[in-house]
Amino acid sequence: MTNRQSLHLRPDLERHFSFAQAVRSGDLLFVSGSVAMDAAGAPLGGDMASQVHAIYASLTEFLAGQGFDAGQVVKETIYTVDMDALVAAAPVRAAFYADRAPPAATWVEVRRLLTADYLLEVELTLMADGASRA
């Protein structure tokens, strides 16, 4: 049986919506959709580039706390309300993966996210170093 551990970033918010920010199962880390949000849960950044930067900065910090980094991302899904703006902000995202093999990725345009303030949401799957990728 695989050991499964729920990991939290904003416990009160996660409890309210009944989810965990991430779940570690064996060598895999599944990170729930992340939005540009401050520690109190308020939206950050009013434009796409600012939100992309805020999300990946938060993910970098969260992943480091779990012993992971961007080089271990194997799958990324991005949901956005404005694909053109996301494409224009792609260089901000690319900095997160600088000098690393990029992950499998899917970008999906949606009508709306949790609130109209959020322009994108990023979901990740990571594999611990040394795990078999076969």
Domain region containing 18: 4-127
Q: Is residue 133 part of a domain?
A: no
Q: How many domains does the chain have?
A: 1
HSE (side-chain half, CA atoms, 13 Å) at 73: 25
- pLDDT surpasses 70 at 22: yes
134 lies in a domain? no
Residue 32, in any domain of the structure: yes
Identify the CATH number of the domain in which residue 66 sits: 3.30.1330.40
Is residue 72's pLDDT more than 90?
yes
Give burial (CB, 10 Å; 0-12/13-18/19+) of 72: buried
Give domain status of residue 132, yes or no.
no
Phi (first) and psi of residue 18, to 5 degrees: 60, 60
Place of tokens 């880390």: 29
Task: Return the residue matching tokens 């609130």.
Answer: 115
Residue 28 in any domain: the answer is yes
Minimal CA–CA distance to 120: which of 45, 38, 41, 35? Answer: 35
Task: Decide if pLDDT at 107 tops 70.
Answer: yes
101, part of any domain: yes
Q: Give residue 40's pLDDT.
A: 81
Q: Confidence band (pLDDT; 50, 70, 90) for 41?
A: confident
